[in-house]
Structure 1
């Protein structure tokens, strides 16, 4: 199961996030045949920039709510409000059960990765039902976490992706546009104060990606480390102390798709599952 999960992440999810060019140049695409090789010199640990910065881009994608969809691919009256249902499971079992819940998420597009966030993300994280304002702002928490772990400011990472130095706010305009730069000017006193999380969300996405160049680079570097520095990565050739998958097991693993998992989980409930679920 872990091997199938790894395959779906590397084969289906990553190219959509970081763009095809960086995905291919970083050697993240799973092999059609053969094996990869574990490199003991590569540290597979989590980078602070990844865990406390770049990989939190998904919080910008979160919708405030999404519909429930029945077997005719029609929306059911009740929508699932994220703020009122976060960390509660009862909504999954109403109006057709988990199948309509999953279908609603599957057929509802995410929000664009940018500096805008849904109300539930800004105000309702861990909110107690019936107690308005009992939740907290996840974005503020992200910014503070980056400072707590000692991340450098956003401008310190631009050189890593061959972006020109940013000595003034206006130096950011080519990657962000005037409106976002004006917003950052209102929040930060100096361009060198911009938090990594704020900076990467303000960047325009690169070609075929949903994130900008700095986030894409950090994410790619992390998944390279996780791939080549993990003895148990599913494509690795067997090592002295790690058996690895057999050729037959690996061939079957390479057939795995997230859409296939959903089809098998709800064979009679969902009529339409995209072949590549991340491209809908």
Structure 2
């Protein structure tokens, strides 16, 4: 979920780090074009990639989620190297009604809660019976919101801005394109969040902690950058120069103004 977007973006060298090395991990690295896998993890791996060591190359960009130590390492080393986002504890918001088996709703909530003790889960439902049932199963581990109308459900979902939003409603397709703030939206009872982990396609490195309000999940664009090239000819400079000089003067930037006016085109 990190290497493939990098390959699509044209990254020439891709490295990975994991202490959990297995045949499956090695195969995934080989298939996704990873050049080398280092048996390190945690904040140590972030530091090694950020600064470089005798055996680990210094890299330009680090991507991928981790525990709180990984997140803090990424926060502190930003600018030393590029980072994707500061991913916090896993989270899911399930929007469900009585059209799906209750066991499916339980499984969707439990799937994210098994990530870590600080993972969070919430439910929005128009059904008082389902709300009471989920509360009886999970207690305070799951926040439950009883909201009858679709508009209110969408507004609450956008307020929560979850990492994962699973829509298990009878009319799930009608919610497509309705949300503004979510890392990824899973529409319909046959679209469990776990499909995003393993098979769906888009990267599952997603914004958490309401950062979906202002950021997106990892994608090929995360590995790209752009810059502007500015080139004036004499006539273009003659047209824009006086305005630029006037703005520089208004800001009190005398040398900026001078650098413009010394090129003043004689007519």
**Which structure has more helix as a fraction of its residues?**
1
Which category describes the TM-score, using the shorter chain as reference length? under 0.3
Bigger radius of gyration: 2
Please report the TM-score for the alignment, with normalisation by the length of structure 1.
0.25
Please report the TM-score for the alignment, with normalisation by the length of structure 2.
0.25
Structure number with the bigger relative contact order (C-alpha 8 A, sep ≥ 6) is 1
